[in-house]
Structure 1
Amino acid sequence: MNSPTPIDTVSPCQSCGACCAYSANWPRFTVEEDAALDAIPAELVNARLSGMRCDGERCCALSGTIGEATACTIYALRPEVCRECQPGDPECGMARRRYNLPPLATAG
């Protein structure tokens, strides 16, 4: 079985969204300061106040269709874990595989 061919896009995250729908445990709060957490709309925070609320595995702040067109509705306020996931990194690759999306080409 051949591996999928890597793709190169101008804005890979906006045509993906897989990391935002990989696991309800992924969009967690870690090193955010209280002021940053207070800025996140309360309806998007989970009941334990430990991360983003999810619908199944998908973060409730994600809009759009995985693998087609997506956007974070609170992009400027998103948790640190969301900021750390970068296009083409191991976490990105893991999430993309779950949704049968080809790996991203990485800068060489």
Structure 2
Amino acid sequence: MLETSPPEIFDCQTCGACCAYSADWPRFSLESDEELAAIPEAMIAEDESGMKFENGRCAALTGEVGKHVGCTVYLVRPHVCRTCMPGDEECRIARAAFGFTVEGLPEPEVYFE
């Protein structure tokens, strides 16, 4: 099983909304050339601006959104994916767009204690 947020905080693998919310989200921003080279070329958008978004989701996302998902490039995922945390603004926006509840989500500060 791929590791995401600690399940006692929130199990991201039962959601995946952030990975299927928008073609504009899985974008590259702070990645070094070495980090970009580690991402499989087949997962990178044609214009090389970010992750490929196809069929309404990041190409690296596996499973069914809202049920059970995983990331095939988790260990080398882009910075934007690394910084999205359960309960933060991006998480809440994505979950709301899918009609998923935002009640009971952790406050983002829990990750910085």
Whether TM exceeds 0.5 here: the answer is: yes
**Partner secondary structure for residue 67 of structure 1:** coil
Q: Deviations over 1:49-99 (max 9, x none)?
A: 110001143000000111110001110000000001000001100000111
- Runs of 4+ with deviation above 4 angstroms: none
Percent identity, please. Answer: 46
Instruction: Report matched runs for 1:1-108 at 5 Å.
Output: 10=8, 11-103=10-102, 104-107=104-107
Decide whether the 8 Å contact of 1:24 with 1:56 is kept in 2. no
Query: Matched residues in 1 for 2:105 and 2:84: separation?
Result: 15
Query: Matched residues in 2 for 1:47 and 1:12: separation?
Result: 31
Superposition RMSD on alpha carbons, in Å?
1.4
**Runs of 5+ consecutive residues of structure 2 not aligned to the other structure:** 1-6
Amino acid at match of 1:66: V
Q: Deviations over 1:1-20 (max 9, x none)?
A: xxxxxxxx534210000000
Amino acid at match of 1:73: T
Q: Which has the higher contact order (CA 8 A, sep 6+)?
A: 1
What is the TM-score of this pair, normalised by structure 1? 0.87
Greater C-alpha radius of gyration: 1
